[in-house]
Amino acid sequence: MPADDPTSPDLPWFRRFRADGRMEPLAARGDNGEILILDEGWAASFKDGRWQEGIVFSHDQIAAFSPVQEQAEIYRLLDEARKALGVNGA
């Protein structure tokens, strides 16, 4: 049952935790292919066809983004961003 397991992929995207108790990474997409990833104080943005470290979007832009719901897709995007930016995973 999802309520009993904070690591369950059946939980809403904003309530998921890793097995070690850390929050799961979050990812969101904009209408024009932009992506924002947040993972434990680290952020990456995909804009103009390339990954950039940090948040390059305004609050208004981020507010219009839609959260990525699928856990596997979030981790795929996180891996893609980390590889593109030469950042090791946690």
Domain-by-domain residue ranges, the chain? 2-85
> How do residues 61-84 score in pLDDT, each as one tens digit?
999 999 998 889 999 999 999 999
Element (H, E) at 80: helix 71-85
pLDDT, residue 15, reads 64
Of the candidate ranges 13-17, 19-23, 86-90, the one whose mean pLDDT is the lowest: 13-17
Q: How far is the first Cα of the chain from the last one, in angstroms, to the nearest whole number?
A: 28
pLDDT, residue 37, reads 97
Single pTM value for the model = 0.78
pLDDT, residue 1, reads 42
Instruction: Please give the Cα distance from 90 to 62 (Å, whole number).
Output: 24
Element (H, E) at 37: strand 35-39
